[in-house]
């Protein structure tokens, strides 16, 4: 079985996140986003790839939405209401609450302002949201008999979640967007150490490594404080949800601590409404906000009041949060027109601005004049500060998560291709995990884990229950390797507990798998135990053998016999000195060390004898060695000693005399 | 009732069947009830013992064992019996490890209540029990292994082996067991330590949170042991290895693991600088990339390890959980001393943390900064100032005071930063006036630490401090006050630039004495400060100011406003010689002495008080000595003002110990004498004021009386002190003799010669040197004496002598003051005593004598008018006054009652001056010598019946 991963969106790009995963026969769509950069068919994922017939209900088992950003949820009403998907849709409670707000806002902008043909109506949105099944964090939802899903906290925005899905024995996690460092108002992503086959993660900042958030906060507060202290006005264009609350908590807290009396304004509308949701959904915020909300709800901003248009030209310093974020139009543009010409004022810009917006123009070099249209030109003398509060994790965060989860495979989505490739290289080289960066409409297949059920014998079961650990102390062997061993970070003292290894998987005639204890196996099969023995006939040099042979050719046998015992004895002495820790036994006819058995060999055609040169043969006597496989290492050590050592013909002189 | 329960219970007992739950419950109720008779209890015990041996049902056995422990705890006398029966029983056997564990649990709970009953468990049995099939029994055994006195190596083997157990909680207990073994010291066998350490490292990757937590502890403890058992050069490598290994876990998703990790990191005492630096950067440093892993004892790729150590502390400090942040902060604090480079880089991070969202963490960061300041590795840079100063104006007073604590110690590298800091402090003062004391204290410390900068700042703001046109100082403004504090601190920095502080600023500062003292009460007490300020603001010719006492304990917190204002009057601008002496450093060392512990017991308090009073008194005496310079330079009125101030200052003290009483009384007397001397000096030497006729005479009279009192009413002078007093007497005589219209020339001359001879006597005893002045007087006296009887000596000769006089410093050791208290019980203006005209009246005097010896000749002086004075001798030998304090009531007769409806008697206790000649007073009945008053006169009212 394999896990098939079809990337419909956010493959090597940012926007319209949508991945369809087939896992052990179940098909899940993760996210259903839209691309904000396109107006044509590229705006939505190509749903036809899921099912050519258009019968999405049977093609998909469920849709899972990670959070309320439009590039993750934007296509959902279209998919459910226009394309006709009627199956279950899962998202967290806050996402269910906030997604319709975002969708409706977007629809209005599209239809009312730009006059585009609407892709879905307000009714579509509400009908779509009705199909949504809300889930809580760490709540295991049984979608059907085989499919389990579970949401984990992801940070990023209120209600953002990573989703774990498990079918049978295959499991995967789809992260959506997430943040590995905590915010003021949101916590860091939090997940258990799971056994995963696949991790699909975002990679927006695949190569960026951010420094401490404290430094960024300090910078921001410093410029804002400096500006208002000098009597200037600060314009903070921002999206209504997310960063606005983050910055506002930051400012409100700072104002409180520094006793600043300069007013902070929120432009009315979406932000006010959004704040209300934040106040209610305290359970999804950061630890600090959760801990303190009983005494003070962090979203009850003490120093914040509503903005009135008449205040735009009011004298005195102030701070204003205005939508939209990139000064692409609307209220923030209106305020910008008024405030930009004064060098006392300050405009803060979000980290990323779409090309074509004023924000983008301001960020790319410092223009002195901006042409809004043919007739309008804005003098820009105000200070510009670039915010770097991103709710996305950086490269280190991605690496940390991947390392923590240690899945078998990783797929990167939601990023720019060159950066993703570089991150992929890192994951593969540093973590040794297979990684993929599929483009849109690509399919990645990875093998999945399949477990086979097997019965266990009573004896095996019992042996599993009882501890059976052993210590391996390698110190006595291999002294030459010990330095290497140590620097390799392995102890010479190892513990093993091989309760399971002692089991043997057998397939019975009925084709059922069964695990039995190794001692049961022979009984079961009615066979005897075999042991593999290794043999080698080892030549040992005898110093004056040649001489002896020359002088007593006829007496070859006599010589042999007369020396037989003493050679073995000599070898015994040699070995005892070379292997002081070993129990070497001299049993008369042969020597025994563990399973290693050595005796003199007089057969000229010994099958275990390898003779490379006849000269060597003349100068050597042969010892036949046998040992069982387990003692191989020891055996070869002994043999090498034997090959090196030299014996003598002791009785030679006496005989000649 | 008891019988009924037991019999019903007994009935239900069937020898074959296990005990029913019902029966067990009844037995328990009997056991718990303290009134159950012993016989019943013993039958219960028998039943239970039988039951536990026979029954095979695990539940019943479990309950039975529970009953045993109950029984043992309610009937403690039975506990040995139960213990032994359980112990000897075959319960603790390998047959069922669960049963054995339960029995052991019962045994151990009994043994816990009764420590005389130790559980003895065979090593072999313990091991085999651990190897039993029951997991819960295994858990319990591992958790309690240390109770059974198992041999260490057996324990070690068992623990290490069970780290391989498939059950996570068994693994956890095994790991915890290994951690527990560490307390028995370093293991000999290196391979054992390594084996254990690497097993811990392996389990850092365990799937279970609790196992990872325990594994961190193992890596920490056994890593330490590994480091300890390594050879010198290997130590560093191992230390680095353990550190990096721990760092690799900082991104664990489990909060508990992260807390443990940071706790462990702080314990490592030796880490390479580059590794430390890496923990402050999320990017892998180039230096780490180059480094090869051959020196590290780990299998993992070095770069990977370096990257896992990357930013470890950043992650810890920006963790979502306060506990982790705190733990990270604490370990950072410990590591910061390892490398200055590391400290510098960590500083930026810590400064940024002053903006953390939790107050606890901000405080923790400040605490760490403070720690750095103490270890002198706090190198504040420009970039830090915004946050650093921000904490000074934080809304929270804890934060502010923590920040001020750091500012006290911080060494700023440049004037700009110093100026910024001072501005920050002033701003803080403006917003939070309640912090005045704290801010002043910081300014003082900062001034001391940065003499140069302070001088610059003061130069810049001196215009602001100066009195504006109408002559008022802007001292109400906290800002000016703050600058004054800053300016007075500078000379203390031993910095020569301190001298560029205009001396008048010190005198301005005197007006703020109270405010400044309360701010600096941890380093200096009011008197020292006053002495210091007046010293710096006044003229300095000689360098004789010696302030005694090195420790400044129990500083005076409450400030006498009067003192401040009085001193305010002395306009130091008028003082002629303004110069700052060279002994600043001396004062510096004195002032920067830390205050000692405040004594706890009353006696200690009193002793401290005495010590303090003595110090103050000595300071005052020192001032008086300096004051002669003023007198000699014609500043009589200034001198008098200072004297008045000294007197006020003296009035603050209410002494509790007799020693202090003496010292204070003497000082007060001394001040009087000096005041009179100064006045007379002014008249005679400088002719400052037109002197009314007789005024001088009155002054002389007063002076002589005071001097007499000084000699009579104080005992316990050292020879030196005595000679000083005699010198004063000499001076008084000389002054009198130098006056042209002098009366009692001869008497004075005579007195002069007696005094001189007294001084000579003292000199002969060898304890004192005669001063120049005395020698001169002696010489002159000798010259006069030759043509005896001839009054040829002109006052001019004596006048010349005056200039030879130079003041010396009294350093009071221990003087006792003789004084008395007098009262007439129940007598006042409305309740007069009855008398019959012409008949004597007895006046019931309650007399309290202090320190008066038996030899003293005491009189009660009763005066109806100046002429009508009657003396009554108080014979102490009869009255029995020999203690320090003698109290008695004496009915003193007054004989010459007038013919009047009522009259008033002024009564007081007087003493004869034994050193004066007997004939000086020509009174027929009564004292023969001149008198000193031991108490103020008391009015006694009488009326005729």
Residue-wise DSSP of B40-73: HHHHHHHHHHHHHHH---HHHHHHHHHHHHHHHH
Q: How far is CA B494 from CA A532, B28, B454, B588, B789, in A?
A: 90, 81, 13, 7, 61
Cα B707 to Cα B699: distance, rounded to the nearest angstrom: 12
Could you tell me if B231 lies within 8 Å of chain A, comparing CB atoms? no
B356 and A CB contact within 8 Å: yes
pLDDT at A476: 43
Residue of B320, B322, B381, B423 to mutate, testing the A interface (most A Cβ within 10 Å of its Cβ): B320
Q: Please check whether residue B317 is in contact with residue B300, taking contact to mean a CB–CB distance below 8 angstroms.
A: no
Q: Choose the closest CB to A492 out of B191, B297, B318.
A: B191
Instruction: Name the domain count of chain A.
Output: 4
Q: What is d(CA B491, CA A187) in angstroms, rounded to the nearest whole number?
A: 53
Bridge partners for A447 per DSSP = A2
pLDDT at A496: 78
CB A13 within 8 A of CB A25: no
Mutate which: A226, A431, A493, vs B, most B CBs within 10 A: A493
Q: Are residues A647 and A604 located together in one domain of the fold?
A: yes
Strand pairing class (A591-593; A584-586) = antiparallel
A123 near B CB under 8 A: no
Backbone torsions φ then ψ of B897, nearest 5 degrees: -70, 130
As annotated, the active-site residues of A are 202
Task: Judge if A173 and A60 occupy the same domain.
Answer: yes
A161 and A17 share one domain: yes
Helices marked H in A344-457 — which ranges?
A: 358-363, 395-405, 417-426
pLDDT tops 60 at residue A564: no
Q: Which of A617-626, A629-638, B292-301, B801-810 has the highest mean pLDDT?
A: A629-638
Residues A274 and A375 in one domain: yes
The pLDDT tens digits of the residues spanning B520-546 come to: 877 777 777 777 777 776 533 333 333
pLDDT at B586: 41
A462 contact residues in B (CB cutoff 8 A): 133
Question: Can you tell me which residue has the tokens 């009192």?
Answer: B709
**Is there a contact between B87 and B119 (Cβ–Cβ < 8 Å)?**
yes
- Strand pairing class (A443-447; A2-9): antiparallel
Rounded to 5 degrees, what angle do the CA atoms B845, B849, B851 make? 170
Judge if A78 and A155 occupy the same domain. Answer: yes
- Chain A partners of B253 at a C-beta cutoff of 8 Å? 190-193, 404
Give the pLDDT confidence score for residue B787 in this predicted structure: 52
> Whole-prediction pTM value?
0.68
Q: Which residues of chain A are within 8 Å of residue B187 when distances are taken between CB atoms?
A: none
CA diameter of chain B? 139
Please state at what angle helix B478-489 crosses helix B503-510, rounded to 10 degrees: 130
The residue to which tokens 């620097």 are assigned: A487
Q: Which two tokens stand for residue B707?
A: 């001097």
pLDDT in tens, B786-844: 554 445 556 677 777 777 777 777 766 677 888 888 888 888 888 888 888 878 888 88
- The distance of Cα B820 from the centroid of its chain, to the nearest Å, equals 38
Q: Dihedral angle at the C-alpha atoms of B336, B337, B342, B345, nearest 10 degrees?
A: 60
* Angle, CA A215 vertex, CA A214 and CA A221 arms, to 5°: 85
For chain B, the average pLDDT equals: 78
Nearest chain B residue to A213 by CA distance is B318
3-state secondary structure of A406: coil
ipTM: 0.79
Domain extent, residue A593, equals 533-656
Q: List, for residues B601-651, the tens digit of each pLDDT value.
A: 445 555 566 667 777 777 777 777 777 777 777 777 778 888 888 888 777
- Which secondary-structure segment (H or E) carries A498? none
Peptide bond between residue A654 and the one before it cis (omega within 30 degrees of 0): no
Q: Which range has highest mean pLDDT (A238-252, A472-486, B195-209)?
A: B195-209
CA closest to B307 among chain A residues:
A396
Average pLDDT over residues A197-224: 90
Dist CA A476 CA B627 (whole Å): 91
Q: Residue A598 above 60 pLDDT?
A: yes
Tell me the per-residue pLDDT of A498-531, one tens digit each, with 9 for 90 and over: 777 777 888 777 777 888 887 787 787 777 777 7
Same domain, yes or no: A178 and A233: no
What are phi and psi for residue B830, nearest 5 degrees? -90, -20
∠ at Cα B777 (B771, B781), nearest 5°?
Answer: 145
* Residue B452, min C-alpha distance to chain A (Å): 29
Residue percentage of chain B with pLDDT more than 90: 11
Contact B287, B273 (CB under 8 A): no
- Selecting from A190, A214, A400 the residue whose C-beta is nearest the C-beta of B349 gives A214
Q: Of A340, A361, A386, which marks where a domain is finished?
A: A386
Task: Classify B115 as helix, strand or coil.
Answer: coil
Measure in Å the smallest separation between the Cα of B396 and chain A Cα atoms.
7
Return d(Cα B662, Cα B454) in angstroms, integer.
43
CA quadruple B248, B251, B257, B263: dihedral positive or negative? positive
Per-residue tokens: B681: 């000096």
Question: Is there a contact between A469 and B164 if contact means CB atoms under 8 Å apart?
Answer: yes
Does A486 lie at the interface with B, CB-CB under 8 angstroms? yes
Tokens of B449: 């630490």
Pair A176, A318 in one domain: no
**A487 with B297: Cβ contact below 8 A:** yes
Residue A209: its chain B contacts at CB < 8 A? 282-283
Task: Name the DSSP class of A651.
Answer: T
- Which of the listed residues A386, A404, A423 is the one where a domain comes to its end? A386
Task: Return the sign of the alpha-carbon dihedral for residues B30, B31, B34, B35.
Answer: positive
Average pLDDT value for chain A: 83
3-state DSSP call for residue B454? helix
Neighboring chain B residues of A246 at a CB cutoff of 8 Å: none
Determine the number of helices (DSSP H) and then strands (DSSP E) in chain A: 21, 33
Interface probe, candidates A466, A491, A496, A500, chain B, greatest B C-beta count within 10 A? A491
3-state secondary structure of B830: coil
Task: Average the pLDDT over B225-243 and give the result.
Answer: 86
For residues B714 and B670, give the distance between their C-alpha atoms in angstroms, rounded to a whole number. Answer: 11
Please state the φ and ψ torsions of residue B780, each to the nearest 5 degrees: -60, -45
The CATH number covering residue A79 comes to 3.60.15.10
Tell me, what CATH number does A366's domain have? 3.40.50.10890
Q: Do residues B269 and B208 lie in contact, with contact meaning Cβ atoms separated by under 8 Å?
A: no
In this structure, the answer to whether residues A512 and A567 fall within a common structural domain is no
Pairing of strands A533-542, A646-647: parallel
Question: Which residue in this structure is represented by tokens 């750091």?
Answer: B406
The reply to whether A498 and A567 lie within a common domain is no
A389: left (phi over 0), alpha (psi -120 to 50) or beta: beta
Q: Is A603 on the interface with B (CB under 8 A)?
A: no
Q: Alpha carbon B522 to chain centroid distance?
A: 8
Tokens representing residue B489 in the block: 């601190």
* Same-domain pairing of A494 and A577: no
Put simply, the answer to whether A288 touches B314 (Cβ < 8 Å) is: no
Residue A402: helix, strand or coil by DSSP? helix
> Which residue in the set B160, B162, B318 is minimally distant from A181, CB to CB?
B318
In the structure encoding, which two tokens stand for residue B536, read together? 């710096």
**Confidence class of residue B214 from pLDDT cuts 50, 70 and 90?**
very high
| H helix or E strand, kind and range, residue B510 | helix B503-510
pLDDT mean over A386-402: 89
In total, the C-beta contacts within 8 angstroms joining chain A to chain B are 155
Specify the pLDDT at position B592.
39
Q: Which of A274, A341, A352, A342 is CA-nearest to residue A98? A: A274
What is the model's pLDDT at position A548? 67
- Say whether A473 and B191 touch across the interface (CB within 8 A): yes
Q: Residue B335's pLDDT band (boundaries 50, 70, 90)?
A: very high
CB atoms within 10 A of CB A607: 8
Token pair listed for B133? 């099939």
**A171 shares a domain with A23:** yes
| Co-location of A510 and A475 in the same domain | yes
To which residue do tokens 């006169």 refer? B937
Question: Where does a domain end: A525, A552, A572?
Answer: A525
pLDDT bin (cut points 50, 70, 90) of residue B302 is low
d(CA B411, CA B402): 16
């Amino acid at each position: 079985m394999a896990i098939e991963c079809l990337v419909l969106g956010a493959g090597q790009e940012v926007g319209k996140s949508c991945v369809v995963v087939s896992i052990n026969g179940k098909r899940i769509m993760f996210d259903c986003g839209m691309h904000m950069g396109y107006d044509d068919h590229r705006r939505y994922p190509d749903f036809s790839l899921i099912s050519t017939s258009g019968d999405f209900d049977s093609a998909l088992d469920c849709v899972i939405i990670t959070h309320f950003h439009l590039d993750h949820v934007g296509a959902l009403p279209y998919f459910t209401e226009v394309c006709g998907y009627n199956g279950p849709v899962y998202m967290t409670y806050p996402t269910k609450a906030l997604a319709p707000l975002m969708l409706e806002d977007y629809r209005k902008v599209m239809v009312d302002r730009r006059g585009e043909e609407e892709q879905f109506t307000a009714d579509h949105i509400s009908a779509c949201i009705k199909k949504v099944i809300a889930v809580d964090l760490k709540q295991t939802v049984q979608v059907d008999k085989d499919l389990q899903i579970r949401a984990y906290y992801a940070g990023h925005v209120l209600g953002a979640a990573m989703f774990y899905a498990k079918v049978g024995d295959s499991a995967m996690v789809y992260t959506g967007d997430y943040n590995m460092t905590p915010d003021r108002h949101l916590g860091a992503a939090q997940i258990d150490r799971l056994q995963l086959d696949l991790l699909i993660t975002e990679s927006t900042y695949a190569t960026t490594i951010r420094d401490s958030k404290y430094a960024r906060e300090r910078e921001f507060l410093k410029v804002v404080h400096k500006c208002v202290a000098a009597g200037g006005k600060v314009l903070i264009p921002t999206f209504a949800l997310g960063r606005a609350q983050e910055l506002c908590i930051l400012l409100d807290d700072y104002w409180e601590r520094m006793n600043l009396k300069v007013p902070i304004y929120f432009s009315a509308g979406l932000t006010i409404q959004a704040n209300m949701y934040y106040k209610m959904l305290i359970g999804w915020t950061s630890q600090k906000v959760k801990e303190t909300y009983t005494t003070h709800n962090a979203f009850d901003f003490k120093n914040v009041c509503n903005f009135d248009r008449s205040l735009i030209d009011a004298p005195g310093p102030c701070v204003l949060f205005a939508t939209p974020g990139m000064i692409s139009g609307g209220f923030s543009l209106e305020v910008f027109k008024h405030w930009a010409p004064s060098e006392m004022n300050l405009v803060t810009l979000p980290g990323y601005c779409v090309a074509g917006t004023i924000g983008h123009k301001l960020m790319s070099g410092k223009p002195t004049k901006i042409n809004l249209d043919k007739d309008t030109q804005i003098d820009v003398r105000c200070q510009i500060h670039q915010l770097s509060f991103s709710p996305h994790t950086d490269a280190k965060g991605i690496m940390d998560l991947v390392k923590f989860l240690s899945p078998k495979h990783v797929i990167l989505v939601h990023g720019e291709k060159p950066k993703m490739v570089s991150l992929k290289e890192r994951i593969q080289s540093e973590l040794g995990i297979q990684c993929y960066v599929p483009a849109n409409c690509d399919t990645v297949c990875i093998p999945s884990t399949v477990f086979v059920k097997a019965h266990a014998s009573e004896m095996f079961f019992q042996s599993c229950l009882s501890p059976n650990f052993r210590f391996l102390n390698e110190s006595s062997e291999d002294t030459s390797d010990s330095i290497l061993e140590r620097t390799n970070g392995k102890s010479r003292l190892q513990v093993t507990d091989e309760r399971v290894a002692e089991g043997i998987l057998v397939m019975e005639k009925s084709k059922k798998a069964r695990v039995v204890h190794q001692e049961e196996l022979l009984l079961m099969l009615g066979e005897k135990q075999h042991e593999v023995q290794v043999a080698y006939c080892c030549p040992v040099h005898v110093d004056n053998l040649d001489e002896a042979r020359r002088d007593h050719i006829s007496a070859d046998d006599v010589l042999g016999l007369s020396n037989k015992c003493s050679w073995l004895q000599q070898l015994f002495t040699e070995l005892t000195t070379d292997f002081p820790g070993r129990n070497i036994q001299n049993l008369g006819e042969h020597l025994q060390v563990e399973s290693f058995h050595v005796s003199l060999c007089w057969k000229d055609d010994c099958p275990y004898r390898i003779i490379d040169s006849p000269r060597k043969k003349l100068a050597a006597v042969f010892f036949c060695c046998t040992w069982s496989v387990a003692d191989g290492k020891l055996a070869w050590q002994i043999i090498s000693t034997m090959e090196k050592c030299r014996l003598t013909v002791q009785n030679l002189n006496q005989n000649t005399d | 009732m008891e019988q009924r329960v037991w019999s019903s219970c007994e009935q239900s007992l069937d020898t074959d069947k296990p005990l029913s739950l019902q029966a067990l419950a009844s037995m328990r109720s009997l056991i718990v009830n303290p009134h159950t008779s012993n016989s019943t209890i013993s039958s219960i015990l028998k039943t239970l013992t039988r039951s536990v041996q026979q029954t095979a049902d695990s539940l019943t056995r479990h309950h039975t064992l529970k009953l045993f422990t109950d029984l043992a705890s309610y009937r403690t006398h039975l506990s040995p019996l139960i213990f032994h029966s359980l112990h000897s029983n075959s319960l603790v056997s390998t047959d069922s490890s669960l049963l054995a564990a339960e029995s052991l649990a019962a045994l151990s709970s009994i043994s816990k209540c009764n420590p005389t009953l130790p559980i003895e468990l065979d090593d072999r049995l313990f091991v085999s029990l651990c190897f039993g099939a029951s997991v819960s029994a295994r858990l319990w055994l591992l958790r309690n292994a240390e109770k059974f006195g198992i041999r260490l190596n057996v324990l070690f083997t068992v623990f290490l082996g069970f780290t391989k157990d498939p059950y996570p909680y068994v693994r956890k207990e095994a790991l915890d067991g290994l951690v527990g073994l560490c307390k028995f010291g370093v293991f000999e066998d290196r391979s054992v330590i390594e084996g254990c350490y690497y097993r811990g490292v392996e389990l850092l990757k365990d799937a279970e949170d609790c196992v990872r937590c325990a594994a961190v502890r193992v890596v920490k403890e056994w890593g330490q042991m590994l480091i300890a058992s390594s050879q010198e050069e290997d130590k560093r490598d191992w230390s680095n290895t353990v550190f990096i290994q721990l760092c690799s876990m900082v991104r664990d998703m489990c909060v508990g693991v992260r807390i443990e990790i940071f706790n462990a990191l702080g314990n490592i005492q030796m880490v390479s600088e580059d590794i430390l630096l890496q923990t402050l950067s999320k990017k892998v440093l180039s230096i780490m990339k180059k480094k090869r892993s051959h020196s590290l004892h780990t299998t993992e790729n070095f770069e990977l390890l370096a990257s896992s150590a990357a930013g470890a502390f950043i992650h810890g400090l920006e963790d979502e959980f306060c506990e982790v942040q705190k733990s990270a902060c604490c370990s950072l604090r410990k590591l910061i001393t390892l490398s200055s480079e590391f400290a510098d880089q960590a500083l930026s991070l810590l400064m940024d943390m002053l903006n953390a969202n939790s107050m606890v963490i901000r405080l923790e960061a400040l605490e760490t900064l403070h720690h750095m300041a103490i270890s002198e590795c706090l190198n504040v840079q420009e970039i830090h100032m915004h946050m650093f100063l921000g904490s000074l104006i934080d809304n929270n007073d804890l934060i502010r005071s923590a920040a001020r604590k750091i500012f006290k110690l911080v060494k700023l590298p440049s004037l700009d930063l110093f100026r910024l800091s001072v501005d920050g402090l002033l701003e803080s003062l403006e917003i939070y006036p309640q912090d005045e004391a704290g801010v002043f204290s910081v300014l003082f410390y900062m001034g001391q630490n940065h003499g140069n900068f302070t001088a610059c700042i003061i130069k810049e703001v001196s215009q602001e401090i100066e009195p504006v046109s109408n002559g008022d100082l802007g001292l109400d403004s906290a800002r000016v006050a703050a600058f004054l504090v800053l300016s007075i601190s500078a000379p203390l920095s031993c910095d020569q630039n301190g001298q560029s502080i205009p001396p008048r600023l010190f005198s301005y500062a005197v007006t703020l004495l109270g405010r400044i003292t309360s701010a600096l009460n941890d380093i200096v007490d009011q008197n020292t400060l006053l002495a210091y300020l007046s010293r710096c603001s006044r003229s300095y010719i000689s360098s004789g100011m010696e302030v005694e006492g090195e420790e400044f304990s129990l500083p005076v917190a409450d400030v006498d406003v009067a003192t401040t204002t009085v001193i305010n009057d002395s306009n130091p601008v008028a003082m002629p010689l303004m110069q700052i002496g060279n002994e600043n450093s001396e004062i510096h060392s004195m002032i920067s002495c830390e205050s000692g512990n405040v004594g706890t017991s009353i006696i200690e308090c009193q002793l401290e008080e005495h010590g303090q009073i003595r110090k103050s008194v000595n300071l005052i005496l020192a001032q008086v000595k300096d004051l002669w310079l003023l007198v000699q330079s014609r500043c009589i009125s200034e001198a008098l003002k200072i004297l008045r101030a000294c007197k006020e200052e003296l009035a603050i003290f209410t002494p509790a110990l007799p020693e202090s009483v003496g010292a204070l009384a003497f000082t007060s007397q001394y001040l009087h004498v000096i005041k009179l001397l100064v006045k007379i000096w002014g008249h005679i030497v400088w002719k400052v004021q037109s002197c009314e006729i007789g005024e001088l005479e009155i002054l002389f009279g007063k002076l002589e009386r005071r001097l007499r009192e000084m000699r009579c009413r104080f005992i316990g002078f050292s020879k030196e002190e005595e000679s000083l007093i005699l010198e004063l007497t000499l001076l008084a005589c000389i002054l009198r003799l130098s006056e042209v219209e002098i009366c009692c020339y001869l008497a004075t001359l005579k007195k002069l010669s007696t005094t001189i001879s007294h001084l000579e006597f003292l000199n002969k005893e060898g304890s004192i040197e005669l001063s120049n002045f005395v020698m001169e007087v002696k010489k002159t006296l000798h010259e006069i004496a030759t043509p005896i009887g001839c009054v040829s000596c002109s006052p001019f000769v004596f006048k010349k002598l005056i200039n030879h006089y130079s003041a010396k410093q009294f350093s009071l050791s221990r003087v006792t003051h003789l004084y008395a208290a007098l009262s007439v019980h129940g007598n006042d203006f409305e309740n007069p005593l009855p008398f019959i005209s012409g008949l004597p009246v007895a006046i019931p005097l309650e007399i309290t004598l202090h320190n008066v010896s038996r030899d003293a000749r005491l009189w009660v002086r009763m005066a109806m008018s100046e002429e009508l004075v009657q003396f009554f001798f108080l014979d102490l030998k009869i009255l029995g006054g020999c203690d320090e304090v003698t109290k008695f009531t004496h009915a003193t007769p007054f004989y010459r009652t007038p013919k009047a409806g009522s009259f008033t008697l002024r009564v007081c206790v007087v003493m004869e001056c034994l050193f004066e000649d007997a004939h000086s007073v020509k009174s027929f009945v009564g004292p023969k010598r001149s008198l000193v008053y031991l108490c103020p006169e008391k009015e006694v009212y009488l009326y005729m019946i």
